[in-house]
Structure 1
Amino acid sequence: MRTSFPGEEAEPPALPRVDAIVVGASAGGVEALLKIFRPLPKGFSLPIIAVLHLPDERRSLLAEVFRSHLAIPVKEADDKETIVPGTLYFAAPGYHLSVEADFSLSFSQEERVFHSRPSIDFLFESAADAYDARLAAVLLTGANNDGARGMARIKEYGGLTVIQDPAQALARTMPDAALALHTPDFLLPLPDIGLLLVELERIAC
């Protein structure tokens, strides 16, 4: 497990080539996501699929909020749409979001996971099945255990796992739960996670 961004080390370890990034967050997640996504430059080429726990009784404004702050395209995911490189997708409220084998997105209304729908575990586990080892996953602040099982699955497939340092998380339950199940490749503060995403995209190009 590395606790510093690769560029800060004398001999940076080789990072894997990935085809997509999945991200999960809950309590405190809006601010955390803005911090890791703001460094992404215009033309960033990797797709990012994110689940942020939201109340499902009203329309989400996440895409509009993030679009006004970021240099990359942002949208709310649509059922059956094909994943496009360089786009940030947010799960819609009230539906689990999954990645299919043909790299399209799909909605479902199965039972809630840790009282949440969309569930981070649903996204992470399906993305692991679709992308195998060519996937990076990031788990941030949150007040329940959603995402821990999905992160462990991604690690089993050989994907890259990144967890926010729980000591710096607004709600540390979620990163702590993931750390209890597996040792991530990186345990980082938010600014370093943003830099790591930029480096992953540079390697993939």
Structure 2
Amino acid sequence: MSFFEEQCPEMDRYLENHTSAEPEILKRLRRETFQKTTQPHMISGYLQGRLLSILSKMSNPKNILEIGTFTGYATLCLVEGLSKDGKITTLDINEELSYLPKKYFQESEYSGQIDFQLKDAKVFLKETEEVFDFVFIDADKENYVEYFNLIKPRIKSGAIVLFDNVLWYGKVLEEDPKQKSTQIIKELNEMASKDEDFENVILPLRDGLHLIRKK
């Protein structure tokens, strides 16, 4: 649950009641995530999932990169908008939990377009020659700035980049944060807003979603 949902749960329910329904496979995945994981709040969830789906459908990307798979909910939202010959590469290092996204990826009608890799994203980005037109990052916050720097040469003009949890439960308002993750998130938000190669907006959805577009 996010900082904003805690402040006004009634509004969150209203928004969900007036948002397009999630596919049945996502309902089942969301339920199983809450049943079988110790940190189910890490899932993208209903509202953010529908936003990811719409953004993907609007841009119709051919090559998506996701850093931080968790149980695969966001992956299955993003793949809805992929071009017919497109691919999504989703990266995570949690081998113990990997059975869950694998299960739902195999069930999905888009199974042939999902490349799930248990690999460190920094290593992947340093090795790959691929160019991406959509990137979603919801992983270890202390590496957000490094991820931003590493993806810059790997995205084309017009590409969409999304960072999750960029309001960090309101901690970004702290003048001199002691927590390293808060410092890094604040640095990322500052960098993205001042980089002349990009245009950006922070959406106060759940725990904050930084939407960045390469010019």
Structure with more contact order per residue of length (Cα contacts < 8 Å, sep ≥ 6):
1
Please state which structure has a larger fraction of its residues in helix: 2
TM-score by length of 1: 0.45
- Which is higher, the Rg of structure 1 or of structure 2? 2
TM-score by length of 2: 0.44
